[in-house]
Amino acid sequence: MAGIFFTYFALVSMAAGVLTVTLRHPVHCALSLLALLMHVSGLFILLNAEFLWAVQVIVYVGAILVLYLFVLMLMNLKTDERYFHSSALYILGPAVLGAGYVLYLLLRSPFDGAKGDTPATAVLQDGDTYAVGIKMFSDHLLQFEIVGIFLLGAIIGAIVLAKTPKALDAERERL
Amino acid sequence: MIPLSAYTAVSAVLFMTGLLGVLVRRNFIIVLMSVEIMMNAANINLVAFSHYLESMAGQLVALFIIAIAAGEAAVGLAIIIVVFRSKISTNVDEMNLLKW
């Protein structure tokens, strides 16, 4: 059963990723990015990470993607005839070759290592939110605060950048 | 039981797709969307390793990555709006003047 769901989520997320890169109209790209994000959140469910599933749906789909769609519709872009960069053909071949080699390496490696302290049974017993919360507010508190400061800086930076620069324009007209 | 290498393979394909999008597309907004695809690929990897190696740290880093993606989207879109206001274009190959 999990195998069927994994195959579905994996195939649809990869197809949506390719569509995001190749579609012509930017709004269509944003909508296929929506499909990608939802299916990646489905993969998180399969990995017993239901808190990350909720965060993915709320923050990525609900906030970031809506921000993208707002900006797209605010600018009312014309779709160009030539929507790939001029050097696209030189990049495509080496990228596909490199991806094939990386896939070959990944699929034949066993990936084993030292186990941590949170087995799947403990996560299933208390819930993923509990496990993440205990870990975050005991061992990773400093990183949590740093991310908070980072978000504050990002908000201030976005406001400063997007403000209309009236004073600068007046000064430029005088010169 | 799904092997861990299946998750890493999906993540690798998504990452290469995003990288190609960054390199190939002309529209700056779609370049930013491709960066989001790459961050999602990294998140799949982190959560998969966190599940299979039974440690919570991977999921925490994935959470921090989501927060940083939100900040990056806000600042990137603000930069796009500034450039669009002065040049009426969002193509990356027309942004070649590093002054205001």
pLDDT value of position B83: 83
Tokens at residue A9, please?
């989520």
Range with the poorest average pLDDT among A40-54, A67-81, B49-63: A67-81
pLDDT, tens digit, for every residue of A83-123? Answer: 777 777 787 888 788 888 888 888 887 777 778 777 778 78
Mean local confidence (pLDDT), B49-62: 90
Cβ B5–A111 below 8 Å, yes or no? yes
User: In chain A, whose CA is at the least distance from the CA of B41?
Assistant: A40
Q: Among residues 59-88 of chain B, which lie with CB inside 8 Å of chain A?
A: 59-60, 62-64, 66-75, 77-82, 84
Range with the poorest average pLDDT among A166-170, B8-12, B18-22: A166-170
Highest mean pLDDT among A126-140, A155-169, B30-44, B74-88: B30-44
Query: What confidence tier does B2 reach under pLDDT thresholds 50, 70, 90?
Result: confident
Domains and CATH numbers, chain B: 4-94 (1.10.287.3510)
pLDDT, tens digit, for every residue of B80-99? Answer: 888 888 776 777 777 777 65
For residue A31, pLDDT beyond 80: yes
CA–centroid distance for A162 within its chain: 23
Domains and CATH numbers, chain A: 1-78 (1.20.120.1200)
For residue A169, pLDDT beyond 60: no
Q: How far is A118 from chain B (nearest CA, A)?
A: 5
Q: How far is A20 from chain B (nearest CA, A)?
A: 8
User: In chain A, whose CA is at the least distance from the CA of B4?
Assistant: A111
Cβ A147–B8 below 8 Å, yes or no? no
